[in-house]
A and B are shown apart, each in its own frame.
Chain A
Amino acid sequence: MWPAAVGNPISPTKRHRLDQRHWAPYAFLAPAGLFAMIFFFVPVLFSLYLTFTDWNPLSSPRWIGLKNYKYIFTLDPYFYQTLTNTFVFAFGSVLLGTAISLLLSFAVTRIKGKALWRTLYWLPMVTNVVAISYMWTYLLDAVYGLVNQGLALLGIAGPDWLSSPSTAMLSVIIVSVWAGLGGNILIFSAGLEGIDESLYEAARVDGASVWQEFRHITIPLLRPTLLFVLVTGFIGGLSNFALIMVMTGGGPMQATNVVANYMYQVAFQNLRMGRASAMAYVLFVIIMIITLVQLRVFKRGGVESY
């Protein structure tokens, strides 16, 4: 595939070998580098250009300067709301997801048949997002859904979940947590298994309760993992929108509309590619700032490899 890098089978001179060591890394990086040119730098610059244009895909882009940004920040009826939603969604799902998966991994680490249990949490990981969305749309249906029917058996009137603006966001957060548990549990389990069992034994000899073990052994030793899962999960959550797109389309009443989904609507339903690109850039700048903060947090939190 990269003929330049394939060595001559007949033994060449040592001099030649040294040369090869010089250019081999470039050959190895070539595919990635070429890809970066075509599918990274060109798109990044092109979408930057688009943010200064008015463009519906049937015509050609028209330069309008900063009007898109001005519209987004001063006139757009939903931009700030979707921005808030984006943060609520990312923050909510990562906090809830981390807490639950930490608890479950802690519970699952030292019991019998953990492979089977872990397998169950993997189920959503191998299920496509559209199927997950519809499955949960059925479960959460206000009238026919299993959740509310179950609650009714207990004499509780379940909320309208997806069709009420006050519970819709909570609902999509729950689903997103549910879908991501397996991955988090895997990471935490790896971390937990790395903790020396003798620490727990020593603690038990000292009469520590399970909570104390968790609080004073598990948490401190898992801190780098924990921090990493929290921060990267948060940043990932800021740009995820497939689940929301399929489940609620951002509704009801924009209650679950996140910037990425809103941008998709603006681009492909309202046919305003320029304005949508500008939104994408605003969100990107926000994500970048957060990531820079993240890097500092990592350095302080003892995660060195980033």
Chain B
Amino acid sequence: MSKTVYPRSTSEQRSMGPSSPREGSTRTLMPRSPQALRPATGPNVWQVGLDGGKYFIIALGALTMVIPFLDMFVGALKTPAELLARPPVWIPHHPQWNVFREIWYMVPMARWYMNSFIVSTSVTVLVVITSSLAGFALAKYSFRGKEWFFRFVLAAQMFPTFLFLIPNYLIIAHWPAVGGNDWLGRGGNGLLGTYVGLVLPFAVNWWGIFMMRQFMLGLPDELMDAARMDGCSEWRIYWQIVLPLVKPALATLAIFIFLSAWNEFIWTMTVTRAAPDLQTIPVGLQLMRDTFDPTRNAALRRAALAVSTLPVMALFLSLQRYYVRGLVMTGLKG
């Protein structure tokens, strides 16, 4: 299944690739000096005003980013009456903190968390391995069929997710010799209802291969030739020389893949409908939506949403200084 499987981050993932502003068109138009446009009061007032404008835009944007989360969080604390009150109650008078405890009993939130974690890390590990291996081969070797394979990697990214949904479901269900299936894949459930079934269709990511290849193109050949002269095997070159050199790119890849896997929804929902024990956070939230009766449990649903997002958010924000630089760097180099 191609990377387009991950619904939301598609554009972001892809655009991490080849853009390289430095190499782009450098036909810079140096600004003419339009004295006429220069305000009579001098540039300083202008500048202050514009800086103010900038801050205004940024603050407005930031507010738009934060308010939905606040609304969800505060909404979870309101009583049913306050949620439906007109005129609105902005701040709950008697915050219902107990919803945050209750939600763990009402829905298998801990289970969802565990599943999300297992699936996302497995996918991340697999993709990082397969992408770096294939990217290395495509970047640093010449062999027959290389061009062909690279083109395929590019083309495969164009295939939309839903084209694979139904066939992959059948492939997983009829995986030979597992889950009660015979060698022809008949008789049992195959890999359905297992973590492997959730993970396997994401084990290779075409965009990941592409990205690693782009990054590895820049590695000096001399280093590898020197290692070969010293009697290093190709595997050791990959493992001990190349991988340490591309750590930032690997980290970037891992972050993006982890986030996409964490948010993956369509495939997991389709395969885990009949296997509630394997549902991940987004799937669980969606499929249990009727659990939250719109009138009675609106606050509980908000609590469920908050519990499903805030810890992940805290984790990523606390780690961000480790990866944001890497993201910006690879974004540049791609």
Contacts and interface: CB of A to CB of B under 8 A. Distances in A.
Interface of A: 1-2, 5-8, 11, 17, 20-22, 24-26, 28-29, 31-33, 35-36, 38-40, 42-44, 46-47, 50, 94, 100, 103-104, 107-108, 111, 115, 117-132, 134-136, 138-139, 143-144, 146, 149, 178-184, 186-187, 189-191, 193-195, 199, 202-204, 206-210, 212-213, 216-217, 220-225, 228-229, 232-233, 235-243, 245-246, 260, 263-264, 267-268, 273, 276-277, 280-281, 283-284, 287-288, 291, 301-306
Interface of A is mostly: helix
Given A122-B316, A223-B25, A208 B33 contact: yes
B265 to A, nearest CB: 5
A283 B160 contact: yes
Among A28, A232, A267, max chain B CB count under 10 A is at A28
B72 interface: yes
B117 interface: no
B259 to A, nearest CB: 6
Given A135-B305, A212-B34, 4 more contacts: A24-B137, A39-B164, A190-B331, A208-B33
B20 A32 contact: no
Interface of B: 1-2, 4, 7-12, 14-35, 37-38, 43, 46, 50-51, 54-55, 57-58, 61-62, 64-69, 71-72, 75, 83-84, 86-88, 129-130, 133-134, 136-138, 141, 143, 146, 149, 152, 154, 156, 158-168, 170-171, 200-201, 203-204, 209, 214, 228, 231-236, 238, 259, 262-263, 265-266, 270, 281-283, 285-286, 301-302, 305, 308-309, 312-313, 316-317, 320-321, 324, 327-329, 331-332, 334
Among A38, A100, A202, A301, max chain B CB count under 10 A is at A38
Given A127-B313, A203-B30, A208-B31, A228 B15 contact: yes
11 contacts: A104-B58, A125-B12, A135-B68, A180-B8, A189-B328, A221-B25, A224-B25, A233-B15, A240-B7, A240-B10, A260-B160
Q: 10 tightest A-B contacts by CB?
A: A7-B233, A183-B12, A305-B18, A236-B10, A43-B167, A190-B331, A224-B24, A24-B234, A239-B160, A25-B141
Among B18, B65, B166, B282, max chain A CB count under 10 A is at B166
Among B21, B146, B259, max chain A CB count under 10 A is at B21
Contact of A29 (B133, B214, B320): B133
Given A20-B233, A39-B201, A47-B167, A125 B136 contact: no
B133 A28 contact: yes
